[in-house]
Structure 1
Amino acid sequence: MKRLKTFIAALTLTTTGTMAADIPSTPVTALTDAAKNLYAYFLEQYGKKTISSVMANVNWNNTCAENVYKLTGKYPAMNCYDFIHICFSPANWIDYTDITPVKDWNDAGGIVQLMWHFNVPNKEGETHVTCTPGDGNAVKDAYGNETYTTLYRPSNVFTEGTWENKWFYEQMDKVIATILKLQDAGIAATWRPFHEAAGNACAKQQADWTKAWFWWGYDGADTYKKLWKAMYDYFKQKGVNNLIWVWTTQNYNGNSSNYNQDTNWYPGDEYVDIVARDLYGCNAEQNLQEFNEIQAAYPNKMVALGECGYGNNGDPGKMSDVWAKGAKWGHFMVWYQGGQGSTDTMCSDDWWKDAMSSANVITRDKVVIPDVTSTIENATDAVKNMGLGWNLGNALDANVQQYHDATQDNYWGQQDITSESCWGQLPTKAELMAMMKEAGFGAIRVPVTWYNHMDKDGNVDAAWMNRVHEVVDYVISQGMYCILNVHHDTGADSYDSQKNLTGYHWIKADETNYATNKARYEKLWQQIAQEFRNYGQLLLFEGYNEMLDAKSSWNFAQSSSAYDAINKYAQSFVDVVRATGGNNAQRNLIVSTYGACSGNGTWDARVQDPLKKLQIPSGESNHIIFEVHNYPAIVNKDKDGNYVSDRTISEIKAEIDAWLENLKTHLISKGAPVIIGEWGTNNVDAGSGKTDYDLHKDLMFEFVSYMIKTMKQNDIATFYWMGLSDGAPRTYPAFTQPDLALKMLQAYHGDSWNPYLPDAKDFPGGKVTSATVNFNNQWGELTIHKGAIDKTVYKGIKVELEEKPATGALSFKVYASSEKATAITSKTPSLAFSSYTGIQKINLQWNIATKGSIKIKSVNLVKHDNSTEPCSLEVAWGCTLSDQNYATGIDAITATRSADGIIYNLSGQRVATPTRGIYIKNGKKYIIK
């Protein structure tokens, strides 16, 4: 019964809690920064995801990894190199002193693994080498090939003057020379020597064959441990400090019914970082049994699948099944050759496709090694170094709220991971961040909403945390600063026309609210901070977004107690993050003013209160940043939001200058730098639905240029709110406002800055002509036409639906001289333009509270001659698209032979002197930057 309880406890450990909790935070011997960072990465991922790896074919190249990439489109995260041939002359075989293939792999973002099939001569003075113990004579294998065993005895290694002693240290010196070259190149690696030492020696029924199958295990457990320690100490003596030491336990391929655990072969905690086991042909259930056994035996070590592949029972269990079963190996490594598919490894193509597409498997493109060794720059330097910033808005912050009572369980966790698209954006891709970096942006603010992905007690859904982590990595991997926050958990509550609550934000600048939510808020930040504790200075945390009082008051709070509450939330945020340790102990943290209000204006004496009342959290000195938001008006409007007149640029500049003085007087003077976490223009004209970018572009450009230049001169970083690239073009990726982006970039970098900015207009295939529209919010809208209508050409618009919508569910909403909605009552509705003036945009609006979907087969503008012109579908808000069909951008196809060397644009026109853009030459795409 006692043994059963131990097993259950071990099983519980693998499925609940933090698997890395009892594992040392530092490696046993790794002293280089690269090795410390690599170990931290393994520890950070342990229990969350498994790191993929493959064995190098012929042991000093990247061939198998390339094969996996050709098959799956992904590289394994790690590549394992074997020193098996180092005993041979480099002139005749492999030159291990040439570290080019290893360095190339590391420079491409891969993790390096090293192992050693330590070959020895079959007899003293002989030239045949082997790892297999025996009498030193030749034997023939099952295929008739002649092989050798060896008389080399590990117990003689420790006697100076023996041939075993001489060979042992000569070969180690060769390996060390190469490892030191890697160390000098800044490369760290896992190191797996003397693997599978016990072999068959732990069989419960002893026989002639129950021996070790490698020479290093031939003389038993005590000699083996002595051998391991001799290597460990010699490596240290020679200055090797870049290795993570991996020991391989072996009870013969998971056969625990016939083999005992080999715990008496274990070198000891002070000599081992990771414990691995090699399994071939083991299914998911067998993987789980082995994983639990090892974790129970070595609870303070990470556990990995040292080798895996095809066995007597066929392919190993698929990694998706292995993980789901509960065998959460820290990493796995597939052995090479075996003829199981196109990869030249011991796993089939189907196995590899499953592994490399699994959400729980880390591939090379997902590797982001943390920096746990550097001193993090102070807040002032961080703000200076951020460069020009942009908000990845309406993505991870998007949320739809069906339940509004935070005291009830159903308020929490209302959405799954697809919430990222619930406001119309498609899932963010890494390519978008690469585009922003190449354009010249230096920092990205990543707003995230959490309540819809956590339970009432504050536990964050693992899938959501993984997705957030993934997007953060997109930013960090580009070398840009990333600000991660708690976003629409704060904000203004919303009500319908009958004053029924339609949107509630659980974090408020309110003393009672703080007392109620303190534990939940702190638990949320504890999880976020723990997730990223080892990330370097490029990652900053922002405690909350626009926190308002219980009355949702903008500009300033209605009571001084609201400012007390926001300072308490700020203190909780800082205290919790600091307590998680690692780089969080000095990470730069951001606290916002009440409502992130900017203090801009003189119309009420209380406008500056949000600046005056915010405090630097206790215990902090040079790692705190203040944040405000500002959306100044660049045109004059009436009380209904209708355009009246342009403001002069001198008026706008004077407002910015006065606001800057307020920031200096009331905020910067406290001793912390400031960022403008969101900014833009107060930019929608009533009636038209058009923005300052559409209607007042010249004035807007002057405004953004002055804003950026002025703030840069005063060491204030600016983060533009989510324009520039929006909607589907984010996934191309391309800019939807490339001219505005260029104006902003030149304001920051100088007029000579001239980057390539992909223009969404150059991607005609991106126009959606039909799709399923999934409305997830009452009053959600889909744009079916955008732009002014020339009524002398067009008489109406026609929609073809798959089926008639429910009564009252759907309507046309026309943005013209006045807004007007017209009910849709058939599956082929039409709208005549004759009764409208000044049409700027036409949407479809969802009118009912129940979520629903409609299939749009086509939308066409109808001309007076009854010919039609297809329209493009675009999410406005409150809906998503699926099953999209795209326009090709090709009107007709003509068979012709293209002339070699002729350059064509995407419209098929010849171009003599191409400028920046995308072109076709000799059938290939060229991007000119």
Structure 2
Amino acid sequence: MSSVQSFKGLRRNISLAIGVAAAALFAASAASADSSNLTAANALTEMSPGWNLGNTLEAIGAGTQPFSVSQETAWGNPAATQALMTRVKAAGFKSIRIPVSWKQYADSSDTINAAWMTRVKEVVDYARAADLYVMINVHWDGGWLQPTFANEALADARLTKFWTQIGTTFKDYDDHLLFAGTNEVMVTGDYSTPKAEYCQVQHGFNQTFVDAVRATGVKNTTRWLVIQGFNTNIDHTLLCNSTLPTDTATGRLMMEVHYYDPYNFTLNTGGKIWQWGSIATSPANTETWANEAYTDAQFQKMKVNFVDKGVPVILGEYAASLRTEYDATGIYRNYWNKYITGSAFQHGMVPVYWDNGYLDNHQSGLFNRGAATEGFPATIDGIVDAAK
């Protein structure tokens, strides 16, 4: 281990000790903490980099719904803990995105089980106790948010009901808590350019979300709300979401997109594409598109159309899977993750890494969640250092 690595490890251990003490002091007053004064001008530096508690609170359980107990371990990850949140903060992350499933805990009238709401609140409080900004959403949730005219009325009614309950629960929390209305809304299986119908309905979901949250009052009247672009695809966002929802609060909406390009490198772990970018040495194992220049150009679109107009942008998910059968030390994975983080940050976007919780090959986990330790310190350092 180099002296630099030793210093970083010592720094993190000191930060962790301080964080544990701070968490204990914070636990009793999470909901009443002073406002963060989060603004469009400082959101980038206040929240970057971010980290996803993926495949946990949004995990869908097996069995008869609605559930009255947490299904967060259904996909193989351990339950979220204070120790994990404190470790994430000590590693250098400033914000956490917590994907959440709600429908599997709701009755036929869409009333969310009280025990589940309490558990979500507990996990949010863990993150706040670690001094992290927090984003919670209505995630995939079984796929009921289909953006079609046929499904619109049912989905809008449920979205209103859910966000009214969520908003009421968290109405006293300050600006460290952000709400994100939906996740990757699209017609299931249709990755083509969205029809006008799909754009209209998805835009309507965003409006429904904003209206429902604002109506719950107190600090929700001005809370930062995160609006998603269509399927979080950058080009589809420009097509469908150039106009933001109307809002009773001025300048309190953010836009969210995701980035997994090129797919054959980041997610297609059964393929032979395992190198990326200018450091690649084998054309046969390198995708022919979505290199550094393409990435910069895509992120520039978000900068020009949103950031430069005073609308902060969240890059809510991005990650490259581990490919140890080809790249034992993760050189290309680390390079992609660091480059995407740095380019996003330089283009004014808050980068929020997708950690799915698993440290095995073909996965994107960074932390050993059960032990609350770093699984890939070099990858973590690359991400944290790039967001400066």
TM-score relative to the length of structure 1: 0.35
Q: Compared with structure 1, are the counterparts of its residues 541 and 555 closer, same or farther at alpha carbon in structure 2 (3 Å cutoff)?
A: farther
Q: How large is the RMSD of aligned CA atoms in angstroms?
A: 2.9
Q: Within the alignment, does 1:628 sit opposite 2:257 as a pair? A: yes
Any stretches of 5+ residues in structure 1 without a counterpart? 1-106, 111-363, 403-409, 490-503, 600-607, 685-689, 750-929
Whole-angstrom distance in 1 between the partners of 2:269 and 2:45: 40
Matched, 1:663 2:302: yes
Name the SS of the counterpart of 1:474 in structure 2: helix
Instruction: Indicate yes or no: 2:255 matched with 1:617.
Output: no
| Residue in 2 that maps onto 1:251 | none
SS in 1 for 2:29: coil
Structure 1 position 477 matched with structure 2 position 129: yes
Separation of aligned partners in 2, 1:418 and 1:732: 20
User: Could you tell me how far apart the structure 1 residues matched to 2:144 and 2:81 are?
Assistant: 30
Name the amino acid aligned to 2:373. A
Residue 420 of structure 1 is aligned with which of 64, 68, 72?
A: 72
| Residues 136-155 of structure 1 aligned to structure 2 (within 5 Å) | none
Map Cα deviations across residues 46-73 of structure 1 (whole Å, 9 max, x no partner): xxxxxxxxxxxxxxxxxxxxxxxxxxxx
Deviation at 1:673, TM superposition (A): 1.6
Decide which of 158, 172, 176 is 1:538's aligned counterpart.
176
Distance in 1 separating the partners of 2:27 and 2:260:
36
Separation of aligned partners in 2, 1:510 and 1:692: 42
**By how many angstroms is 1:575 displaced?**
0.9
Q: Which digits, 9 at most, give the CA deviation of each residue in 1:796-848, with x for residues without a partner?
A: xxxxxxxxxxxxxxxxxxxxxxxxxxxxxxxxxxxxxxxxxxxxxxxxxxxxx
Per the TM alignment, residue 723 of structure 1 is displaced from its structure 2 partner at its CA by 5.2
Residue 729 of structure 1 deviates from its aligned partner by 2.7
In 2, are the aligned partners of 1:368 and 1:473 still within 8 Å (CA)? no
In structure 2, C-alpha distance between the alignment counterparts of 1:530 and 1:427, rounded to whole Å? 25
Task: State the alpha-carbon separation in 2 of the partners of residues 582 and 531 from structure 1.
Answer: 11
Quote the Cα distance in structure 1 between the aligned partners of 2:239 and 2:299. 14
- Is residue 2:330 matched to residue 1:697? yes
1:649 partner letter? S
1:583 partnered with 2:219: yes
1:553 is the counterpart of 2:190: yes
| Aligned counterpart for 1:396 among listed residues 43, 51, 57 | 57
Quote the Cα distance in structure 2 between the aligned partners of 1:596 and 1:679. Answer: 11
What is residue 282 of structure 2 aligned with on the other side? Answer: none
**Using CA pairs below 8 Å that are at least 6 residues apart, which structure has the higher relative contact order?**
2
Instruction: Tell me, in whole angstroms, the C-alpha distance in 1 between the residues paired with 2:206 and 2:260.
Output: 24
SS at match of 2:51: strand
Q: Tell me the alpha carbon deviations over residues 580-614 of structure 1, each in whole angstroms, 9 at most, x when there is no partner.
A: 111111100001111111x3xxxxxxxx2332311
**What SS does the corresponding residue of 1:709 show, helix, strand or coil?**
helix
Counterpart among 701, 718, 727 of residue 351 in structure 2: 718
Aligned ranges for residues 293-372 of structure 1 at < 5 Å?
A: 366-371=27-32
1:457 offset after TM fit, Å? Answer: 1.1
CA contact (8 A) 2:319 2:355 kept: no
Please name the residue that 2:156 is paired with: 518
Paired residue total: 349
Confirm or deny: 8 A CA contact 2:54 2:355 kept in the other structure. yes
Assess, with a 3 A threshold, how the Cα gap between structure 1 residues 458 and 657 changes in structure 2: closer, same or farther. Answer: same
State the one-letter code of the partner of 1:542. A
Is the CA contact (8 Å cut-off) linking 1:417 and 1:464 kept in structure 2? yes
CA distance in 2, matches of 1:515, 1:448: 22
Q: Match of 2:318?
A: 679
User: Aligned partners of 2:256 and 2:327: how far apart in 1?
Assistant: 29
Residue in structure 2 matching 1:746, options 373, 385, 388: 385
Greater fraction strand:
1
Alpha-carbon distance in 2 for matches of 1:482, 1:382: 12
For the 8 Å contact 1:379–1:624, the answer to whether it is kept is no
1:719 partner SS: strand
User: 1:733 maps to which residue?
Assistant: 372
Paired residue for 1:455?
A: 107
Q: How far, CA to CA, are the matches of 1:692 and 1:711 in structure 2?
A: 29
Aligned-partner residue type, residue 395 of structure 1: T
Alpha-carbon distance between aligned partners in 1 of 2:348 and 2:265, rounded to the nearest angstrom: 30
Distance 1:577 1:695, change over 3 A: same
Cα distance change, pair 714–669 in 1 and its aligned pair in 2 (3 A): closer
Distance verdict in 2 for CA 1:539–1:636, change over 3 Å: closer
Unmatched tracts of structure 2, length 5 or more: 1-20, 280-289, 360-364
For residue 431 of structure 1, what is the aligned residue in structure 2?
83
| Residues 1:528 and 1:424: Cα distance change in structure 2 (over 3 Å) | same
Partner SS state of residue 421, structure 1: coil
The aligned residue for residue 569 of structure 1 is: 205
What CA deviation, in whole Å up to 9, does each residue of 1:15-46 have, x standing for no partner? xxxxxxxxxxxxxxxxxxxxxxxxxxxxxxxx
Amino acid at match of 1:572: T
Write the letter of the residue equivalent to 2:385.
Q
Cα pair 2:57 2:99 within 8 Å, conserved: yes
Using the alignment, how far apart are the partners of 2:118 and 2:324 within structure 1? Answer: 35
Matches within 5 A, 1:377-392: 377-392=38-53
Give, in whole Å, the separation in 2 of the partners of 1:611 and 1:505.
23
Could you tell me the TM-score, scaled by structure 2's length? 0.81
Matched ranges for 1:80-99 at <5 A: none
Aligned-partner residue type, residue 513 of structure 1: N
Contact 1:509 1:594 in 2 (8 A): no
Q: Which has more helix, going by share of residues?
A: 2
Whether the 8 Å CA contact 1:724–1:737 is kept in 2: the answer is no
Deviation at 1:472, TM superposition (A): 0.2
SS of 2:214's partner is helix
